[in-house]
Amino acid sequence: QVQLVESGGGHVQPGGSLRLSCAASGRTISRYAMAWFRQTPGKEREFVAAIRWGNSNGYYADSVKGRFTISRDNAKNTLYLQMNMLKPEDTALYYCASWGTANNPIMSTMTRAMAWDYWGQGTQVTVSS
């Protein structure tokens, strides 16, 4: 059974930083594409970043490019999202997701929340002064 548990959220002032973690069990994350999404009340879940298996390259939404970095620690079976220069519009519930199969998703599918099979419970990030 695949289980994803996010942590690291909190309240931070604009310009600050946070690092989110997603601890996985039931699968080896180095063998699957992984992603971060976020959601605010009344809106659809929004793609933030993804990393494919087999390489460490990250793929990012334009809104976070240059500020956020996705990475994984294979030894700890944990996915991370380093968030720098945070803005109030980054306030959201952040979710970790895992692709269902060992095949890497194509770019057009990667950004669609419904295409991902496994989800964590989310961790809240609030950016305000």
Residue at 101: amino acid letter: T
Residue 82: how many other CB atoms lie within 10 Å: 15
Residue at 127: amino acid letter: V
Q: Helices marked H in 2-89 — which ranges?
A: none
What are the tens digits of pLDDT across the range 105-128? 888 899 999 999 999 999 999 999
Average pLDDT over residues 94-102: 94
What are the tens digits of pLDDT across the range 76-91? 999 999 999 999 999 9
CA torsion sign for 56, 61, 67, 72 is negative
What are the tens digits of pLDDT across the range 28-75? 999 999 999 999 999 999 999 999 988 788 999 999 999 999 999 999
What is each CA distance from 95 to 23, 48, 54, in whole angstroms? 12, 9, 22
Q: Report the alpha-carbon angle 73-75-80, nearest 5.
A: 20
**pLDDT score of 47:** 97
**pLDDT score of 53:** 86
* pLDDT of 23 over the 90 cut: yes
CA distance 62 to 53: 22
CA distance 9 to 80: 12
**pLDDT score of 61:** 97
Enter the tokens of residue 16.
């600050």
* pLDDT of 15 over the 90 cut: yes
**pLDDT score of 104:** 87
The DSSP code sequence of 36-52 is EEEE-TTS--EEEEEE-
**pLDDT score of 55:** 79
